[in-house]
Structure 1
Amino acid sequence: MTADKAVRAFAGIMVLLSVALTYWVSPWFVLLTLFVGANLLQSAFTGFCPAEMFFRKMGLK
């Protein structure tokens, strides 16, 4: 698996998790969904993604 695919999988998991937490725990977890979306958007324009840096340090190409 490449770091790019790992980032997309991680973002998808985080969005699904935050939606579930928003539904069952607290409406404030919608902020996590907004944070993930904003991070994806800024990384599309800047190329800077902390999650990708982390996955590269973990050994993904």
Structure 2
Amino acid sequence: MNIDRAVMLMAGTLILVSVVLTAVVSTWWLILTAFVGANLLQASLTGFCPAAVILRRFGLTSGCAFR
């Protein structure tokens, strides 16, 4: 698995978890969804992704998006 796929996996998982928590627990969990979306938008505009930096330190190889 490379960094690109891991970032997409993390983002998708967090969004799905926050949607379930919003339906079951509280609508405040939509803040997590907004945070993930804002981070994805920021990463697409700047090319800097904090999750990619962390995953690189764990030894994952770069894909084509986060070099």
Give the TM bin, normalised by the shorter chain: over 0.9
> Which residue number corresponds to residue 9 of structure 1?
9
Alignment of 1:1-61 (within 5 A): 1-61=1-61
Shift of 1:56: 0.5
Greater per-residue helix proportion? 1
Runs (4 or more) in structure 1 with deviation over 4 Å come to: none
C-alpha separation between the residues in 2 aligned to 1:23 and 1:54?
A: 30
Give the RMSD, CA atoms, in angstroms. 0.5
Amino acid at match of 2:24: W
C-alpha separation between the residues in 2 aligned to 1:59 and 1:25?
A: 36
Q: What TM-score do the two structures reach when normalised by structure 2?
A: 0.89
Identity %: 54
Number of positions where the alignment pairs a residue of Structure 1 with one of Structure 2: 61
User: How far does the alpha carbon of each residue in 1:6-41 deviate from its partner, in whole angstroms, 9 at most, with x for none?
Assistant: 000000000000000111011000010000000000
Gaps of 5+ in 1: none
